[in-house]
Structure 1
Amino acid sequence: MEYTHLGRSGLRVSRLCLGTMNFGPETDEVDAFGIMDAAHDAGINFFDTANVYGGEGKRGWTEEILGRYFAQGGGRREKTVLATKLYGNITDWPNEGKLSALNIRRALDASLSRLQTDYIDLYQFHHIDRETPWDEIWQAMETAVAQGKIIYNGSSNFAGWHIATAQAEAHKRSYTGLVSEQSIYNLLTRDIELEVIPALEANGLGLIPWSPLLGGLLAGVLRKERDGSRRNAGRSAAALDANRDAIGAYEDFADELGHDPADVGLAWLLHQPAVTAPIIGPRTREQLDASLHALDVTLDETALARLDEIFPGHKTAPEDYAW
C-alpha cells in the first residue's frame, strides 16, 4: 500500500479510502467487521463514514457498527484514520442538522458516542450551510479541537468559491481550516475540474473522490448486462443510455490494456495529481479485494490521453469557456 499526505497536513493516509455507507443497510455487521479487518491487512488506514449513514429511520446505524468494531480492541482504532461527517438532519426537530454551533456540539458528541472513540481524525461538513456564518462554524470547530475531540476539518460537496471563502475566513482567525474536500469525481463526472480542483490546489487541500465508478457504470456494466449479472433501472439506466457508446469504447480500451474496467477507472483517479484517495464502498470482501487491483495499474501518457478522448474533461475555468 502507498500512503500520501492528506492535503497540506502532516497526516498520512492510504491511497484508497474505505467507504462504509453500505455497512448496515447492505452489509451485515459480521461481514462489515471482516471487510474492515481485511482493509487493515491490505494497508488501508483511512475509513470514511457519516452520522446519517444507515438509512431512513436508522441514521447513525453505520457509525454504531464502526464503534462496535473499534471496541473489539486489537489496535483497530489506533490503526484507523477515522473520518465522519455532519450536516444532515438526524430527526425532524429544530437544530438537529446543518452547521450551527449548537448542532456541531451535539452532532459531534453523538458521533463520538456511536463510534466509541474520544476523538475523530477528520470531521467533515457533508454540505455547505448557506444560513450559518463561518465565524460561528469555525469558532465551534476551534473549541472542538481545543477539547481534543477532533483533529482536522474537511468539506464535502462544496463549490470552489465555498472552499475559498471557508479558507479565507479560517485564516482571519489563524485557524487551519479545511485540509480536504470530498466530491463526486470519476471519468464520466468531471465537473469539479472547472472550479473545485483549482481551488483545492490553490489552498493545499486533498481531494477524496466519492462514486469513483459512478455506481458501477465504469465497472464493466455492458459486459455484466450481456451476461445477465446486472439489471439497470432508474437513474443508472438513464445514465447508461446517454453514455452507452462512450462506455462501450471504454470497456474495449480496458480490454486492450489487459485490465478490468473498474481497475482502469480507479487507476485513472490515482493518476490525477489532486487526488489523495478515492473512496471504495465494498458490500463484500470480494469487492474489497477486487478494488486493490487498481493499485497495480500504471497508465502511461498515451493511455491517459485515450481516456480523455473517450470521456472529455474540462480545462480550468475560465479557459474552459472563454479565450
Structure 2
Amino acid sequence: MPYTQLGRTGLTVGRLVLGTMNFGPATDERDSGRIMDVALDAGINLFDTADVYGRSQLTGAGARGATEELVGRWLARGDHRDRVVLATKVYGSWGDLPNSGGLSARHIRQACENSLRRLGTDHIDVYQMHHIDRRVPWEELWQAMDLLVAQGKVLYVGSSNFAGWHIAQAQEAAARRSSLGLVSEQCLYNLAERAAEAEVLPAAQAYGLGVIPWSPLQGGLLGGVLEKEREGGRHRTGGDRAQTQLAARRGQIEAYEELCTKLGTPPSEVALAWLLTRPEVTGPIVGPRTLGQLESALRALSVELDADALAELDRIFPGPGPAPESFAW
C-alpha cells in the first residue's frame, strides 16, 4: 500500500480509503467485518463513515447510526482502533426537532458525543462536515470545532461537498482564529464527473487540503456496466438516476469499456487508477459491498496508465478545463 500525507498535515494515510456506507444496509456485520479485516491487513488505514449511515437508500431498511455502531464493535477487537485513522461526519438530520441536524454549535456538540458513543472511542481522527450549512456563521462553526479539538474529542476537521468558495471562506475564518482549519475535502469526483476540477480541487490545493473523492465509479457507471448488461446482470447503481445516466452517456461508456478491453484491465480498476494519477487526490473512497469488490480496488493500485491511455481517457471524458480560462477569454 503506498502512503501519502493528508493535505498539509503530518497524518499518514493510504492511497485508498475504505468507505462503510454499505455496511449494515447492503452487507451484513460478518461480511463487513471481514472486509475491514482484509482492508486493514492490506494497509488501508483511513476508514470513512458518517453518523447517518445505516439506512438503505434503496429499500429504507435499517436505522441511522447503525453503521457507526457496527464499525465500533469491529474497532473494539484487538488493536484495530490504534491502527485506524477514523473519519466520520456531521450534518444530517435525526428527526423533526428544530436543532436535530445542520452545523449549529449545539448540533455539532450533540452529534459528536453520539458518534463517539456509537463508535466506542474517545476521539475522532477526522471529523467532517457532511454538507455546507449556509445558515451558520463560520465563527460559530469554528468555535464549536475548536472546542472539540481542545477537548481531545476531535483531532482534525474536514469538509464534504463544499464549493471552492466555501473552502476559501472556511479557511480564512479559521485563520482569523489561528486555527488549523480544514485538512480535507471529500467531493464527488471521477472520470465521468469532473466538475470539481474547475474550482474545488484548485481551492483545496491552494489551502493545503487533501482531496478524498467519493463515488469513484459514478455509482457503478464506470464499473463495467455494459459488460454486465450483456451478461444479463442487473445494474444496481441507484435506480432511475443511474439508468438515466447510462441512457444519456451510453456512447461514452461504450468507448470507455472498449479502451479498458484494449488495456486488459477491468473498467472499475481503470477508473480508480485514473484518480490515483491526479496530483490533488489523496485517495479515493472505495465502498465495497463484497470482499471481491475490495480486492478489485486493491488491484487498481498496481495499474499503470501510460500517456496514451490518459490522453484517450481525456478524450472520452473531457474535463471542464482550468478556471477561469475555461469560461473566459
Q: When the two structures are superposed, what TM-score results if normalisation uses the length of structure 2? A: 0.96
Say if 2:225 and 2:235, in contact at 8 Å, map to a contact too: no
2:203 corresponds in structure 1 to 199
Does 1:289 find its partner at 2:295?
yes
Say if 2:198 and 2:320, in contact at 8 Å, map to a contact too: yes
2:63 corresponds in structure 1 to 58
2:160 to 152, 156, 165: 156
2:277 to 271, 282, 285: 271
Distance across 2 between alignment mates of 1:259 and 1:297: 8
Distance across 2 between alignment mates of 1:184 and 1:7: 17
2:242 corresponds in structure 1 to 236
1:305 corresponds in structure 2 to 311
What SS class does the counterpart of residue 204 from structure 1 fall into?
A: coil
Report the Cα offset of residue 231 of structure 1. Answer: 3.6
2:41 corresponds in structure 1 to 41
User: What amino acid is aligned across from residue 254 of structure 1 in structure 2?
Assistant: C
Distance across 2 between alignment mates of 1:280 and 1:118: 26
User: What amino acid is aligned across from residue 63 of structure 1 in structure 2?
Assistant: E
Distance across 2 between alignment mates of 1:182 and 1:107: 19
1:187 to 177, 187, 191: 191
Q: CA RMSD in A?
A: 0.9
What SS class does the counterpart of residue 88 from structure 1 fall into?
A: coil
Report the Cα offset of residue 301 of structure 1. Answer: 1.7
Distance across 2 between alignment mates of 1:192 and 1:46: 22
User: What amino acid is aligned across from residue 28 of structure 1 in structure 2?
Assistant: D
Distance across 1 between alignment mates of 2:51 and 2:3: 26
Distance across 2 between alignment mates of 1:183 and 1:235: 19
Distance across 2 between alignment mates of 1:279 and 1:304: 21
Distance across 2 between alignment mates of 1:254 and 1:23: 29
Does 1:133 find its partner at 2:103?
no
1:70 corresponds in structure 2 to 75
1:75-121 Cα offsets, whole Å, 9 max, x none, are 10111000000001112212111111111110000000000000000
User: What amino acid is aligned across from residue 217 of structure 2 in structure 1?
Assistant: L
What SS class does the counterpart of residue 262 from structure 1 fall into?
A: helix
What SS class does the counterpart of residue 184 from structure 2 fall into?
A: strand
Report the Cα offset of residue 315 of structure 1. Answer: 1.3
What SS class does the counterpart of residue 8 from structure 2 fall into?
A: coil
Tell me the number of residue pairs that the alignment of Structure 1 and Structure 2 aligns. Answer: 322
Structure 2 unaligned regions, length at least 5: none
1:314 to 309, 313, 320: 320
Moved over 3 A (4+): none
Report the Cα offset of residue 230 of structure 1. Answer: 2.2
Report the Cα offset of residue 290 of structure 1. Answer: 1.2
Report the Cα offset of residue 196 of structure 1. Answer: 0.5
What SS class does the counterpart of residue 81 from structure 2 fall into?
A: coil
2:227 to 220, 223, 228: 223
Structure 1 unaligned regions, length at least 5: none
Q: When the two structures are superposed, what TM-score results if normalisation uses the length of structure 1? A: 0.98
